[in-house]
Structure 1
């Protein structure tokens, strides 16, 4: 099933391979051909743990180092993710076996870890850290074989269920003792390409697995050629790391190659089926059916009610003079009265439009397979640049709305639009980054990168927001169908269910239900180092989210106007983003039940970044609901006859 969900990258691959020119290819879909005994470089990415949420560089631990350490030039997304891709001393040749090799030091002299190094390694093992390596851009995975009873058969035979986890565990603990995985058995799968008879065979790497082992120093036999002999069966004991003293050990590895029928275009299928896809399918379909069913009911009710209202309001008969206006028609002279703080409202809505355009384009491009996990860091890099360039649309919409709300200080409004939301995001990230710096984590954004982000903000986003705001402010304001009275009406006392917080709870259920399942996979990708790849589903969920936010916003503003409360501008913006409250509740639930975070700084990072997610989601859904309600209000007041 996973193969059917990644057909777009394969289609792009076929386009690249059938094209006669070699000057253009889509990133992430260009294969590398190897010949017999060609070097296959093994690189390290980082160390990660879902318990601490703090990634570290590979050489922050005393692993064996090559003669010259060379770091890969990362893109912006890789830097923000904490990736620090570096070369390793593993010597791997295409289709060449290695039974056992000593990685560093001399065969007769093992590696000695100092007390400080031993304490650090032991700490990382107890914190459940994983090591992430790549070969030919394929991440290493550890095979897990689970057994389950076959209910279909009478004898209930046990079936082997093969799953994979990203990276490999640095070590393990047992009865208050700490053990290090110091031997790595690499298993690389290759696909043999069809060639002419007189040409040399070419190979492509299609899978990268590892079996980590812990082997005690005394159980490992070595010779002068840096070769070693692994103990057979269960005749060995694991390599213990005592954090209170020096430890001696060997770092060893072996390489095994296997031929595979998997095509190069399908090599990511193994990594993209690490979660239960069946549950994802049925849950998404269930959400689609429920949301469309509820949306249809709401639409039918609101349309029928509106038709009845408009027909009654426009009815011309002999007793018209004796009828007293009531309901939403009664507040026609105040419904378009500008709200308090129009500059802040238009600025927040402009940032919401900026977010909406960025998210829509990113999801659509990712759905085409151009931002797949094989393009490491491309998703975050694209999102950052698109947010900067979408400032022109955010500024235009904010400027036009600000003028509609009788605003005059367009320069100050443009500056507010360009700095309010980005300033909050940058401020929170800077404070969190200081804590990450203090832990010496690779997740800390380097100072040059932070300066580059500031330059992008003030050099790209700010001028584009000003440009869009200028043209938006000069454009004709939105044409409201009725005039606003000079003296505002008195608002009657409202019922308890018209309370703002109650409205947030009611309006947030439907949009949150549309994205509940997808939210679990997104959280798993962010906090548990899982791959997220079902962008087709995400695009569908995003469309459903837009529809549900729009419809629930229209219903809420209709009820408010029927209660003769014309102060709908800010209320509708806040209530439409009510699903963000449920996202916050779910984030707390996820923290308590799914993650094993107990320390202060990881908890601070989790809730800090969660606050940014909730704020962004509130801006997004609030903006969608606001513009849907604004169009609805203009439409219904244009449909009635008002003297």
Structure 2
């Protein structure tokens, strides 16, 4: 009953987190905010233009400044890895200054450039750049009565297919005194923009702004890129808390999803507790094997018979364990606030590094499983485990990037990034996997409560609705229901330009999902064994993978109306790869839970 105690302890911790609503995560930035004096130039870097998954370099995507269209991106390797760029500032912003209207640049657009720009406006492209490391955006009201930043701003509006309205920028800044009651130095705490449109600066109009600047298809135009700056009153917000406004918190939705997941998990655990009570405590005579016994006790001599194709089986377990450990470590970094938008590229870099070094767990799990199943070709297992599935995953990832490369999107990996990923696989992941396989290949195999007979027992035929894979497909929806809301919150930053403060909620859902997968797999296995079907090995890894089918379907349904044209193939491959990773993850933890469960219940049996 140790498992039940652990599950109860975890559920109690989850219930405390739900009740206390611990959601104030600190987002750690790699750089401190700069101290500015009055009239000092603000640190401004242009970034990109985006529309859903499509992204272009700031000056190459739109004709703001044709002289800078071929400028190389600045920034760290991690920053570029995130699909971002840093380019020369377009607006000469100064600290603590307010002005009504200034002209940043003037561009003569040809008819073709006007047509391209109107097409960008129709596709709802948004402009992004950084001021003192803070991404700019529009200030929007949140559901809890506060405010949040919607990243970027629209480059224009269009009312018909033949014209578009050019957007100019109105900046809003908020500062904090470095030394209280001193006007010498200031921190920039908040920056937002309000999109407005006017032909140019003109004192004959209110606020120095004229009528909207319109572009007409097939017509050349002279465009003035103007801007204005304003500043709020001083704020008491600390510099380290200036990222909080980028993370609205959907309390009602997340709490509801957490409670639903909690209740589903409790019900499943009650069923498992009932099964274990029946096995261990219900009747003392259940522990004896008698002639004529039926059900799960009657197949004690076949239940530990090694499955077919156990080389493939062990490789799947090894890769799944590598993904599982990587996921746990990434979750810890995410909850600690190290993988937020204040650290652009940190998630992708951490994912690559952690996954590569977790090859250590892959080699260990695969070799131990292979030895346990009676395998003797240990070198083949070590080599195939280190190369086969990771190579397939890498090929799929590179295929998915072809559409990004062909369209010259900013998010397309550079040659340096591709070489880095390949080197991490060749010189870190493969060696660590082989090293761990080498150290455990001489260990004795794990022992079973019973040795299998030489002649396999016949398995009774079953009707279709008692098929265990059918049950796995149906009940695989329950873990998906637990994680469903969090998947939605992780997709929102990609398509809707805002992030949600959900690190603790995601951690709760992650724990509940794992418990659900393990418990459901145990219950289905118990039902399978009770029907005297001892072929539980492959079902124990294919069954949990059914949850990834629901994830794949949901990703397609969510993204289909948003990725038409330009990124459809990339998003399909992205969804498939995510689902494949999750299937391997679910399979490994489902199998380990099942292996413990089957060993535990058969260790209670003994002969009279």
TM-score normalised by length of structure 1: 0.85
**Is 1:544 paired with 2:512?**
yes
- 1:356 deviates by 1.1
Aligned equivalent of 2:381: 413
C-alpha contact 1:46 1:82 (8 A) present in aligned 2: no
Aligned ranges for residues 618-629 of structure 1 at < 5 Å? 618-629=583-594
**Is 1:237 paired with 2:216?**
no
C-alpha contact 2:288 2:607 (8 A) present in aligned 1: no
Aligned equivalent of 2:121: 125
Aligned equivalent of 1:73: 75
C-alpha contact 1:481 1:634 (8 A) present in aligned 2: yes
- 1:420 deviates by 2.9
Aligned ranges for residues 34-49 of structure 1 at < 5 Å? 34-49=36-51
Which secondary structure does the structure 1 equivalent of 2:35 belong to? coil
C-alpha contact 2:35 2:187 (8 A) present in aligned 1: yes
**Is 1:437 paired with 2:405?**
yes
Segments of 5+ residues of structure 2 without an aligned counterpart are 1-17
Aligned equivalent of 2:602: 637
Aligned match for 2:464, one of 490, 493, 496? 496
Aligned equivalent of 1:85: 86
Aligned equivalent of 1:449: 417
Aligned match for 2:245, one of 222, 245, 270? 270
Aligned equivalent of 1:134: 130
Aligned ranges for residues 592-611 of structure 1 at < 5 Å? 592=560, 595-599=561-565, 601-611=566-576
Aligned match for 1:301, one of 261, 271, 274? 274
1:544-580: CA deviation from partner (whole Å, max 9, x where unpaired): 1121111111111111111111111111101022211
In the aligned structure 2, how far is the partner of 1:369 from the partner of 1:99?
A: 38
* Cα distance change, pair 356–566 in 1 and its aligned pair in 2 (3 A): same
**Is 1:279 paired with 2:275?**
no
Segments of 5+ residues of structure 1 without an aligned counterpart are 10-25, 106-110, 149-158, 222-227
**Is 1:100 paired with 2:101?**
yes
Which secondary structure does the structure 2 equivalent of 1:474 belong to? coil
Which deviates further from its counterpart, 460-469 or 421-430? 421-430
- 1:288 deviates by 4.0
Aligned ranges for residues 611-622 of structure 1 at < 5 Å? 611-622=576-587
In the aligned structure 2, how far is the partner of 1:499 from the partner of 1:3?
A: 41
* Cα distance change, pair 449–513 in 1 and its aligned pair in 2 (3 A): same
C-alpha contact 1:313 1:641 (8 A) present in aligned 2: no
C-alpha contact 2:322 2:361 (8 A) present in aligned 1: yes
C-alpha contact 1:178 1:240 (8 A) present in aligned 2: yes
- 1:285 deviates by 3.4
* Cα distance change, pair 99–233 in 1 and its aligned pair in 2 (3 A): closer
* Cα distance change, pair 73–31 in 1 and its aligned pair in 2 (3 A): closer
- 1:84 deviates by 1.4
C-alpha contact 1:373 1:533 (8 A) present in aligned 2: no
C-alpha contact 2:141 2:147 (8 A) present in aligned 1: yes
Aligned equivalent of 2:534: 566
- 1:65 deviates by 6.9
1:221-277: CA deviation from partner (whole Å, max 9, x where unpaired): 4xxxxxx6483279843222233232211011122222223221221121111xx52
* Cα distance change, pair 311–582 in 1 and its aligned pair in 2 (3 A): farther
Which secondary structure does the structure 2 equivalent of 1:628 belong to? helix
Which secondary structure does the structure 1 equivalent of 2:543 belong to? helix
Aligned residue pairs: how many? 587
- 1:185 deviates by 0.9
C-alpha contact 1:129 1:169 (8 A) present in aligned 2: yes
1:283-312: CA deviation from partner (whole Å, max 9, x where unpaired): 243234313321332223212332367733
C-alpha contact 2:100 2:228 (8 A) present in aligned 1: yes
**Is 1:194 paired with 2:199?**
no
Aligned match for 1:483, one of 451, 474, 486? 451
1:602-622: CA deviation from partner (whole Å, max 9, x where unpaired): 221221100011111111111
In the aligned structure 1, how far is the partner of 2:288 from the partner of 2:310?
A: 36
Aligned equivalent of 2:228: 254
* Cα distance change, pair 421–238 in 1 and its aligned pair in 2 (3 A): farther
In the aligned structure 2, how far is the partner of 1:376 from the partner of 1:54?
A: 18
Aligned match for 1:520, one of 478, 488, 494? 488
In the aligned structure 2, how far is the partner of 1:70 from the partner of 1:264?
A: 31
* Cα distance change, pair 285–586 in 1 and its aligned pair in 2 (3 A): same
* Cα distance change, pair 74–242 in 1 and its aligned pair in 2 (3 A): farther
Aligned match for 1:312, one of 285, 293, 300? 285
C-alpha contact 1:101 1:253 (8 A) present in aligned 2: yes
**Is 1:330 paired with 2:298?**
yes
Aligned ranges for residues 452-471 of structure 1 at < 5 Å? 452-471=420-439
In the aligned structure 2, how far is the partner of 1:162 from the partner of 1:195?
A: 26
In the aligned structure 2, how far is the partner of 1:196 from the partner of 1:99?
A: 27
In the aligned structure 2, how far is the partner of 1:451 from the partner of 1:412?
A: 27
In the aligned structure 2, how far is the partner of 1:368 from the partner of 1:244?
A: 53
Aligned equivalent of 1:5: 23
Aligned equivalent of 2:13: none
* Cα distance change, pair 3–237 in 1 and its aligned pair in 2 (3 A): farther
RMSD: 2.7
In the aligned structure 1, how far is the partner of 2:22 from the partner of 2:173?
A: 24
* Cα distance change, pair 160–459 in 1 and its aligned pair in 2 (3 A): closer
Which deviates further from its counterpart, 133-142 or 415-424? 415-424
